[in-house]
Structure 1
Amino acid sequence: MRIPMRFTRLWRSLSLLSLFLYFIVFLFTGKLDPKVPYRYLIRPRAGRTAHGEASSGIILCLFEGAMEMGVSLIRELRCLGNKEIIQVHHCMNELSTRSQQLLRSIDDHIQIIDICEQAQRQNMFPKGVRPSDFQGYWIKPLALILTNLTQVVLMDADDVFLQDPASLRRLSGYTKTGTTFFYDRHVKLHNFLARRINGTPLLRHLISTFDYAQFGLQGPNPSEHLKRSLTYRYNVAHEQDSSLVLIDKSRAGKAMKILEYLIFHVRYELRFSWGDKEAYWLAFELAQQDYFFSPWGLSLLDSVPNGCLKKHPNTLCGSMAHFVPYELDTEPSQVLYVNGKALLEPHPAGRSPTAKVKLSRMYNPNPTHITPRFRRLNVDLAKQKSFECMDGLGSERLPQVFQAYLLRRRLHFLALSMDYLPSLNICQL
C-alpha cells in the first residue's frame, strides 16, 4: 500500500527530530550508563505543617498508559523550580509495581496512592457505585476530596507549563478565595450544562432543585459570578476546563462535601459535565462559597497538520492554552500552560495510526502561534461557528521560550519511551 506523501513528510520530520534529540542526549549524558539506577535531583524537604505532614502539593492522576506524560511532567515541574510533594493517584492497581518503583526512583518527594482502595476502605461507595467508575476523569475529584494536602494544585498529565503553577497562589484571585479555575470553550450546544430538562437548561435546573438543606444551606442563591456567566445567560455548554485546578481546602467551606455528593450521586442522575470538568466550580457555587475564575477565555495554538496559519490565520484549532490569571488588562499577557497531548504523543488519545483522527488532534510538531488573550465575558458568541476552533479571535506569536520548554518536555517523554533514564536529569538546554 502506498503511503500518502503527507505521512511520509511527517515521518521524515519525526525522524529528524529524534536524531536531534539523540544528539542532545549524547552531549549531556554520553558518559552515563543507562542501566545504572540513578536518583536525579536531591531537593529540599517540602513545606510541612507542625504535625510533619506536607500542607501544599500537587496531585497528578496516572495510569499505566500515561506514564511517559506523567514522568515528563514531574521532571518539567522540578526543572521549573517546584519543590512540593507530588501525589500520584491511581485507581485499583492502574500502575504496575515497576511503574511505581520508577516514579519513586526519579524523585524524592513523590507519594503514590491507590485512591479507590482508600475510598473503599472508608466505605465511601454508595450501593451500585463501583470503584471502577472512578478510573478516568472522575479519579481527580475523588483524589482532591481524600488527599491529606490542604493547598492543592490538581493537574492533567498532558499539561505543558511555562511557569511553576504553584506560583499562582500568590496572585489576587487565589489570595481572595483560595481557588483558581480556568474557562473552557465558549460553544453553544444543546448538551451538558445547556441540555434541556423539562424545557429548562440543566444548569438552571440543578441550581433551582439542589437539596441545599441537606448541607445546612438555604437556596437557591445564585452568585453574581454565575448570573454574569455565559453558561447561565446564553446557555453555553461548558464553563470550566479542569486541566488545572487550584483549591485551598481549608477555605472551601462546604464545597468539598458537596463535591463528594456530586461525584457519588448527582453525576449518575444528571450528566452535567464532560468528565469531571464542571464539578469543581459547581461544588463552590452550590456551597455558596466564593471562587475565582481567570478572566481570560480559552486560547488555542495553531495546528500544523490542520494548516491553520495558511488557511485561516485568525482562527486557530490546535491544543488548548491558558494565560496567567492576572485580573487587570494592564498586567502582562503571559502564557501559563498548554493542555497538549497532541504536542507529545505521536498518536494522541491512544488512537492507532490507522484510526480516523481530526487533523487538529494529530501530532503537532512545531506550533508557533496562539489565540491572543481575551476576556471571556466580552466574547462575541455570534462569531463562534465551530467546536474545534476559536473562530475569528486572531493569532499572535508564542513566546520564544515555549519551543525550548516543549523540546525539553519531549526529551523527557522520549527518555522514558526509549528507556534511557539518565536523560531525565537534563533541565538546561
Structure 2
Amino acid sequence: MVKVLLSGDVGGNWDALHARVEKLHTSAHGPFDVVLCAGFSDVSANAIRAWPLPVYVLGGLGDQPKNTSTNLHVVSENSVHTISGLHVAFLADPEAVQSFRSALTAQPVDLLITTDYPQGFDQLVSVEQIPSSLQRSIAEAVEMAVPRYHIAATHGLFYQRLPYVTTHGATRRVTRFIGLGQVGVSPDKDKKWMHALNLDVFSSSASVEIPAGTTQSPFEATKRLRQDAIAFQPRKRPGLSAEKAQQLMQQSSQGSKQHSFYDHTQHARLPNRQECWFCLSTPTVEMHLISQCTLRDGSIGNEAYLAIPKGPIVPDHALIVPIQHTASMTTISAAARAEVNQFKAALTAYVYMEAFHNEGTKYKVDFTPLPDGAEIEASEYLLVECPSPPTRLLHTVHGKHYMQFGRDAVAALLNMPRRGNWKRTTSLSSILVSVFAVCLLCQAVLFRNIFSAVADLQHDDDHRAHLRSVAAAATWSDLVEAGIDNSTSHSTRASSQNTTEPTGPSGSASKSIDALLPFNSNASVSLASVVEPTTTSNYAPLSSAAASPSSSLHPWTVADVSFDRVMDADTRGVFVSKFASAPRGIVMCMHTRMVPMGVSLIQELRALGNIDPVQVFYCLPNELSSTDVTLLTGLGNVEVVDLCSVLVTSRVFADHGVASRFQNFWLKPLALVFSPFPNVLLVDVDTIFLHDPALLWTSSPVVDTGTLFFHDRVLDFSQFLNQDVGPDDGQTFIQVFFDTFPYAAVNLTRPAAISDTMRRSMVWNKHTAHEQDSSVVLIDKTRAGPHVLETLWYLVTVKRFQDQITFSWGDKEAFWLAFELAGIPYAFSPWNCGVVSLPDDAALHPTTLCGSLAQYWPDLNKNDVFFVNGNAVVNVYRLGDGRHTDWAARAASLVAAIPKLVTPRHTRHPTSQNRQGLDQTCLLGEGATDIPPAFQDIAERRIRRGQAIEDRAAKNDSMWVNTVHDLGQLHTLKLVRQRC
C-alpha cells in the first residue's frame, strides 16, 4: 500500500505546504511515501529547507533545476516516473502532447498530474463552477494515459468527479478525477487543497471493479459525437428574430458556445443532475418509479434499468433508462446499448419511440431502442419502432424539435389526448402500477396517417386536435386501407416496391417505409427507413431489378449500377441540359432558405460582368418550390435541375429515401460530376465576390493543373482527417485512409507514393482537421479525367457510409481527396484563408479576427481579397417561428454589422498560440487590415436584394403557401417568391 499526499497550486505558499506536510507525515495517518503537487508552483520563491519525504511539483520549461538537495523534485518535462512502485505521469507542457505520448510506456499509469482541468471532462456531469475555457491538449493526454487518478488544480476549488470507465484495448479502466484548491488560501471544504490516497500497486492481471455511479468516459462521449457526425451535420437552428442579429454576432465574437458563424459541433452543457428524476446517484431520485421486475439478476443492471414514467400514458407504460447521465443513444457505450436491447427484447409487443434533442437533459428510452447494425446519425431525430410487421420510422429533425410529438401521437391513437401532457397523469395511483400488463399492439400504417397528416397542419395549436381526429375516425382495417390503397400518388415517387399486405395485427410481413409513406413533395424532410445493412457489395451491380431496402444506407445497391450509367443519365431521355454544349459554367446547389442569397448572387455576378451560364441543382421537390424555380429561371441564362429526382428516375438511386441522403451540401459533388460543363466553377450561394470569378480560370493553379482549391482554417484539434486512429503508433485517419482505400472499386491502382502537395499539407503533418474550404471549387473535368470523377462519386455515395470516422463536415475534403487518390495533380491557392471581422473584434482583440472566411487572389503577384464566404454577412432569411418577419429590420441590422476589417494575406502555418477561450473560427494573432471599400457596397446590395425578395413575399401571401413541418414545432410559413 502506497500512501500519497496530493496538493493543489503551491504558488509561492511554500511555508503553508511545508507545515501541513510535516504535520500529516508525523500524525496517526502517516507516514506518507510521496507528495504530488498539481497546478502552478513558483519554485523560485522556495527557501532551502528539508522535506521529510519526496515532493514532486510541476515547474517551468527548461529554466529550473530537475531536483534539489532538499528532497524537492521539479518536473519540467513531460515524463513518467516510478515512485514507490506507482507509475506517475507529469504533463508539464500541455502544448507538447506528442512528447507526452512518447514518454508513456506499456505500464498502466496510476496517477496523472496536470496544471489544469481537461476540456470536456464535464460532458456527462453538471459542473457549474469550472470555466469552459479549458485545454483540449490536456484531454488528449488523459485519453493517451488512461490513468487510475487524474489530479489537477488551477481553479481554486476542491472537486471530485464521478468515476468514469474507458475501454483501453481489450481492457476497461476506471479513472477518478480530483481537482484541488490553492495552497493556504482557505480552510473551507469546497476549497480544500490537500488530499490523501492509499493506493495498491496496480496489477494488470487484477479484475477491474466498476463502482456504483460510474459514467462513460466523457472524452469517448465527445469523440462519438464527432465521429458520428453526420457527423454532426452543423446545426441549422430555425433562425433568430431581426432584433437579435446584432446580438448573435457579438456572442460569436466572444466565443459563445451556442452561436457561431462557422459550422462546428456544439456541445450543450447538461443541466444540474439534481433536477433529473432518473439519475440513481442524485438525492432527488424517485425510487418508487423504478421497477422491481426481474431481468436476469434484476431490473437494475450494470448499465441500464427499467422504470415507470412520472406521468404514464397507460398503466403499462415503461422507460428503459441508461444508468449513465447521457443525452442520446449515440453517446452510450456498447455494453449499455446491449443491456438496453435486453430490456427491449423483454418488451417486444410495445411501440418503441426515441427522440434525441441536442440540448436535452438525460437520455431515456421511451419505448426506445436503436436498430441493430445501424448507427443513428448524431443530429436530432425521432425514431418509432413497431413490432408487427417489424417497421422502423426515422425522422431527422432540422428545425426546432418538439420533443413531445411522439407522446402526443400515442396518446391520440389511444383516444386519450389529455395524457399527451404528462403532468396530467402524475397521480400516485397511476404511477405505482405493474410494468408488464396488456401489450400495446401497433402497425406502422397507424403512424403513416399521423405523419402524413402533419403536412396538412396550418397552426401549432391545431395539431393535437388533428391527431385526435385521425386516430378516432379510423378502425384497424380502415387505417390499413388508408395507408396502402388510398395513399396519395406523387409523380416523383420511385417505382413500386415488392411488398406484402399485412393481414392484421399479427401479420408478419415487413414493409419498406416508401410503401407506407409515399414521397411527399410538400414535406420539408422525407422519412427514410432504417434497415439492416446488406452484405452485397456497395458498388457491384445486383442481379435483381428491384431496389434493396438497404439502399437507404448504401445507395449503390440497385440494378446494373456503374459509373458509366451515372455519366449517361442525361442522355437516356430523363434529362437533357440546355447548356450541353457550353464550354464552362457556374454550378450552385440550393434549397428554399438559400433562394434570396442565390438570386442576389446571380444578380451580382452579372453586375461584375460575368456572362457564364448558371446551373442550380437541388434534391427532391421539398428543397425548392415551383415558385422558387420560376424565380431563378427568370433571371436569364439559368437552368434549375432536380438532380435527385433525375437520378431516381434513371434508377441510379433506388428511391427517394436514398436520394434524400444527398440533400444540402452533400449534393455538391454529385452536381459537379453530373453537370455537362467541362469546366465547372462550383460556388456556394453565400459567397460574396469582389471580382468576376471568371478571372480565376486564368490563375496560375488552374493553368498549371486545371484545378483550384482554397484552404480552410488551420484547426488544431484531433478530428476528421486528423483523428487519431491508433493509440500506440500515432497514425491519423488521413494517413491510414490512403493505405486502406479500396482502389480496385474505382478501377485504380494504388499510387506509389503520396504527392508532394499532400506531403507538405497541414493535415498530413497533423496540424489541422480540415484542409479545404469548398465554398469555391474550380475543376477542368476533361483534364481531371474519369478516374477522378468516379473516385469523387465513390467517396460521397459509398465511402462516407462505410467509415466509422467521416473524412469531413459534408463535402469539404472530397474534391482534393479524389485527385490525390487517383494520382492526378491538383493545386491549392498559395495563401491561407483569412477571416473578416465581427463588430467587437477590433476592441476586444485587435490582432485576432473571428468572422467569416475570406480568400485572396490565388496568384503570388496579386494582393486583393477575391471573395468572402459570408452566410452570416448577407443571409436575411432564417426559418422563423411562423409569424411575420420584419425583413427591413433584419436587413438593417446586417448592414450595420458589415465587416470592415480582414486578416492580411499570409501563408499557411501551424497554429501555435493558446486560444484562451476564443472560438475555432478566430485566426489568432494574424493581424487586421481594412477590407476593400467595394466589399461594403457589394455586401449591402446582396442584403437589400435578399430583403426585397422576402419583403415582397410577406406582402402577398396568396401566391405561395409552403407548409413546413419539422416534427414537433410545426410551422406554416406563408411566403411568396417573386422576381426581384
Map 1:51-130 → 2, pairs under 5 A = 53-93=581-621, 94-107=623-636, 109-125=637-653, 130=658
Helix, strand or coil for the counterpart of 1:196? coil
Higher relative contact order (Cα pairs below 8 Å, separated by 6+ residues): 1
Map 1:61-210 → 2, pairs under 5 A = 61-93=589-621, 94-107=623-636, 109-125=637-653, 130-199=658-727, 200-210=731-741
Aligned-residue offset at 1:207: 1.0
Cα distance in 1 for residues equivalent to 2:881 and 2:618:
24
Report whether the alignment pairs 1:276 with 2:804: no
Q: Retained in 2: the 8 A contact 1:61–1:157?
A: yes
Map 1:295-310 → 2, pairs under 5 A = 295-304=830-839, 307-310=840-843
Report whether the alignment pairs 1:217 with 2:749: yes
Aligned-residue offset at 1:242: 0.4
Q: Which moved more, 1:230-239 or 1:272-281?
A: 230-239
Structure 1 runs of 4+ aligned residues shifted over 4 Å read 6-11, 126-129, 350-353, 420-424
Cα distance in 2 for residues equivalent to 1:402 and 1:275:
28
Cα distance in 2 for residues equivalent to 1:126 and 1:104:
29
Aligned twin of 1:343: 873
Count, aligned residues: 363
2:932 is matched by which residue type in structure 1? P
Map 1:224-373 → 2, pairs under 5 A = 224-253=756-785, 254-270=787-803, 271-304=806-839, 307-326=840-859, 328=860, 331-346=861-876, 350=879, 363=894, 365-373=897-905
Per-residue CA distance 1:342-372 (angstroms, 9 max, x = gap): 1113576x5779xxxxxxxx95722110000
Cα distance in 1 for residues equivalent to 2:245 and 2:809:
35
- Give the alignment's Cα RMSD to 1 decimal: 2.6
Aligned-residue offset at 1:235: 4.2
Cα distance in 2 for residues equivalent to 1:380 and 1:189:
11
Aligned-residue offset at 1:278: 0.4
* Structure with greater helix share of residues: 1
Helix, strand or coil for the counterpart of 1:230? coil
2:691 is matched by which residue type in structure 1? Q
Describe the shift of the 1:7–1:61 C-alpha distance in structure 2 as closer, same or farther (beyond 3 A). Answer: closer
Q: Retained in 2: the 8 A contact 1:193–1:235?
A: no
Cα distance in 2 for residues equivalent to 1:285 and 1:365:
40
Q: Retained in 2: the 8 A contact 1:182–1:294?
A: yes
Cα distance in 2 for residues equivalent to 1:96 and 1:70:
14
Q: Retained in 2: the 8 A contact 1:56–1:151?
A: yes
Q: Retained in 2: the 8 A contact 1:412–1:423?
A: no
Aligned-residue offset at 1:91: 0.4
Helix, strand or coil for the counterpart of 1:59? strand
Per-residue CA distance 1:201-254 (angstroms, 9 max, x = gap): 110111111122342323352100000000001241000000000001001121
Per-residue CA distance 1:392-425 (angstroms, 9 max, x = gap): 000000011111111221222122122289995x
Q: Retained in 1: the 8 A contact 2:666–2:796?
A: yes
Cα distance in 1 for residues equivalent to 2:584 and 2:902:
32
Per-residue CA distance 1:97-120 (angstroms, 9 max, x = gap): 11111112222x111111111222
1:160 is matched by which residue type in structure 2? I
Describe the shift of the 1:217–1:413 C-alpha distance in structure 2 as closer, same or farther (beyond 3 A). Answer: same
Aligned twin of 1:19: none
Q: Retained in 2: the 8 A contact 1:231–1:238?
A: yes
In structure 1, which of residues 388, 397, 415 is the aligned counterpart of residue 948 of structure 2?
Answer: 415
Cα distance in 2 for residues equivalent to 1:336 and 1:78:
16
Helix, strand or coil for the counterpart of 2:765? helix
Aligned-residue offset at 1:373: 0.5
Give unpaired runs (5+ residues) of structure 1. Answer: 1-5, 12-50, 354-361, 425-429
Per-residue CA distance 1:9-60 (angstroms, 9 max, x = gap): 959xxxxxxxxxxxxxxxxxxxxxxxxxxxxxxxxxxxxxxx9621210001
Aligned twin of 1:16: none
Aligned twin of 1:15: none
Cα distance in 1 for residues equivalent to 2:657 and 2:710:
29
Aligned twin of 1:46: none
TM-score, normalised with respect to structure 2: 0.36
2:846 is matched by which residue type in structure 1? P
Cα distance in 2 for residues equivalent to 1:74 and 1:146:
21
Q: Which has the larger radius of gyration?
A: 2
Aligned-residue offset at 1:337: 0.6
1:288 is matched by which residue type in structure 2? G
Q: Retained in 2: the 8 A contact 1:125–1:131?
A: yes
